Structure formats: structure tokens, C-alpha cells
């Protein structure tokens, strides 16, 4: 049976120190900036909070790590183990491995490898790698992404980490490109299917086509300006999952207005029927 999971993006405004990475066009290098925010909830405490709320796993955005020191990572790993909540995926939200510029592409691959090293220490099962910023119809970008993913996957496998990509950002915004990425890497990588990242006119057909390949699901809903979700629309996507053999995490993604926990709980009330 599928099980409840959460991403730290759903608590973006609640977490403390944020690590932001960006590409500097002047120096042609990645740079990192730390932004301190009021700490309402720490990443170290989050596994225990989620255990209390009935979640089985967590996906953590790379920029939500306040530190990548080994001592901190081992403490976080211990907290996951003691809480009983699995560290399912480290979401690497930076990098354009489809870029035509080999310097940029290789620099981003090395950046991703560094985060795979973090995933190994902290005990994450997988890392999510963005397929790229190339346009959906750019075949060269697709080829660069496939070659990059193969290299990243080889590196990750040697460290016991699974690589997954997602229908996220332009290159992987179509079901056709998602399938080409999977087949091009000889199905060596996994796939996260995000309900909210397809154009509305092809959304349900795309989800139905990709669910057989899914290793995780990001369950986004449509909601109004006060954060109330469109339950009927949400269930259309969830029904497709229920009619498949999928049995992995259904990760709740809420980034709407108002209380984040209230929004998460509205999603949870619906998704629990499918778990």
C-alpha cells in the first residue's frame, strides 16, 4: 500500500537556516548563501514531529540543510532512525545537467555528486536530480541530460544511493521526455511523478502513462486564495494511483497561503483514504 510522506518544501516558511545555491554568471561558478530565518521548527526535530503526525517518510530539499558538517549529518541520521521516519529522498533543487555549456554542465554534475556524498552520510535512500532547463523540444539538451544522468547514477550507485528525476522544470515537463530519460538511462533511475507540474490539458493522461514507472509521487493539489483545496480535482489524480500497482510514498506538497500545517492536514485528510 502507498504510505504518507512529506517534503520540507511544505514547511518552507517554518524551517530555520536556509542554504541557497546559485550560478554566478560573472565567476562561472556556483555560490552558496546562508539565509537565517526565525526557527519555528528545526530539521533535527522534524522526524519526531512527523512520527507524531503519522508520516512514514520525509523528503528534504538541499537548501533546508543548515549545515553539511559530518557531525550534524550523523545527528540528523540518528534522529531519523530513532523516530522511525525514513529519509526517503534528498531533493537537489539546483543544477542544469542539460546545458549546452560543458563547463556549466560538469560543474553542476560535481555539485550534485557533493550532495550525493551528503545523502550517503545522512542515510537518505535516494536523491532527486532535476533533468534540466532545456526546452522540451531540444533534442541536444535531452541527450546531454541522459548522458549526465548516467554519470550521476554510476556515482550514486557506488554509494548505495538511488537517483530519481521528476517531471520538474522545462525539459522533463512532458511525459514523452520523462519516458525518454528513463529509457535512455536504461531504466537505471527512478521517477517522481508530480501532480502539479503538467499542463492541465494533458495532466491526467500524463500521470496515467507515468505511474507504472513511478518510484515516488508528489501529491500537489489545486487550492484557492485562502488555501482550500479542490478535493474533487485532487481525487482524480489519486484515483489514477489507486488503480495502479503503485505502493511507494505519496508525498504531500503544500505551498499555499495561511498556516502550513493546516494546509498539510487538509491534503492529509484526503490522501489518507488512499494509504
- The sign of the CA dihedral 269, 270, 271, 275 is positive
Q: What are 147-187's pLDDT values in tens digits?
A: 999 999 999 999 999 999 999 999 999 999 999 999 999 98
Residue 92: predicted pLDDT: 97
Q: Which uninterrupted H or E stretch holds 19? A: strand 18-24
Residue 25: predicted pLDDT: 67
- Residue 49: other Cβ atoms inside 10 A: 18
Residue 68: predicted pLDDT: 93
Mean pLDDT of the 222-247 span: 96
Torsion of Cα atoms, 243 then 247 then 252 then 253, to 10°: -80
Torsion of Cα atoms, 6 then 56 then 274 then 270, to 10°: -40
Mean pLDDT of the 10-18 span: 78
Cα angle 11, 172, 235; round to 5: 55
Q: What is the average pLDDT value for the chain, to the nearest integer?
A: 93
Q: Which position has the higher pLDDT, 255 or 18?
A: 255
pTM above 0.85, yes or no: yes
Q: What residues contact residue 14 under an 8 Å CB cut-off, 6+ apart? A: 40, 41, 260
Residue ranges covered by each domain of the chain: 3-191+198-209
Mean pLDDT of the 57-63 span: 96
Mean pLDDT of the 81-87 span: 98
Homologous superfamily, domain 3-191+198-209 = Divalent-metal-dependent TIM barrel enzymes (3.20.20.150)
pLDDT higher than 90, residue 16: no
- Residue 180: other Cβ atoms inside 10 A: 19
Q: What are 88-146's pLDDT values in tens digits?
A: 999 999 999 999 999 999 999 999 999 999 999 999 999 999 999 999 999 999 999 99
Amino acid at each position: 500500500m502507498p504510505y504518507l510522506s512529506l517534503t520540507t518544501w511544505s514547511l518552507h516558511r517554518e524551517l530555520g537556516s536556509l542554504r541557497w545555491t546559485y550560478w554566478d554568471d560573472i565567476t562561472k561558478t556556483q555560490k552558496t548563501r546562508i539565509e537565517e530565518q526565525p526557527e519555528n521548527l528545526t530539521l533535527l526535530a522534524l522526524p519526531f514531529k512527523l512520527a507524531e503526525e503519522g508520516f512514514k517518510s520525509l523528503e528534504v530539499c538541499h537548501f533546508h540543510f543548515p549545515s553539511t558538517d559530518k557531525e550534524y549529518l550523523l545527528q540528523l541520521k540518528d534522529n531519523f532512525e530513532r523516530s522511525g521516519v525514513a529519509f526517503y529522498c534528498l531533493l537537489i533543487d539546483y543544477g542544469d545537467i542539460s546545458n549546452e555549456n560543458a563547463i556549466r554542465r560538469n560543474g553542476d554534475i560535481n555539485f550534485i555528486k557533493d550532495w550525493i556524498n551528503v545523502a550517503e552520510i545522512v542515510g537518505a535512500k535516494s536523491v532527486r536530480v532535476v533533468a534540466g532547463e532545456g526546452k522540451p523540444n531540444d533534442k541536444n539538451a535531452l541527450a546531454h541530460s541522459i548522458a549526465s544522468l548516467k554519470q550521476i547514477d554510476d556515482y550514486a550507485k557506488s554509494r548505495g544511493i538511488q537517483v530519481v528525476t521528476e517531471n520538474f522544470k522545462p525539459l522533463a515537463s512532458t511525459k514523452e521526455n520523462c519516458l525518454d530519460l528513463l529509457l535512455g538511462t536504461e531504466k537505471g533511475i527512478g521517477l517522481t511523478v508530480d501532480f502539479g507540474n503538467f499542463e492541465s490539458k494533458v495532466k491526467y493522461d500524463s500521470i496515467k502513462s507515468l505511474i507504472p514507472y513511478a518510484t515516488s509521487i508528489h501529491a500537489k493539489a489545486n487550492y484557492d486564495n485562502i488555501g482550500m483545496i479542490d478535493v474533487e480535482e485532487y481525487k482524480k489524480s489519486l484515483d489514477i494511483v489507486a488503480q495502479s500497482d503503485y505502493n511507494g510514498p505519496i508525498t504531500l506538497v503544500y505551498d499555499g497561503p495561511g498556516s502550513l500545517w493546516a494546509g498539510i492536514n487538509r491534503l492529509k485528510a484526503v490522501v489518507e483514504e488512499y494509504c
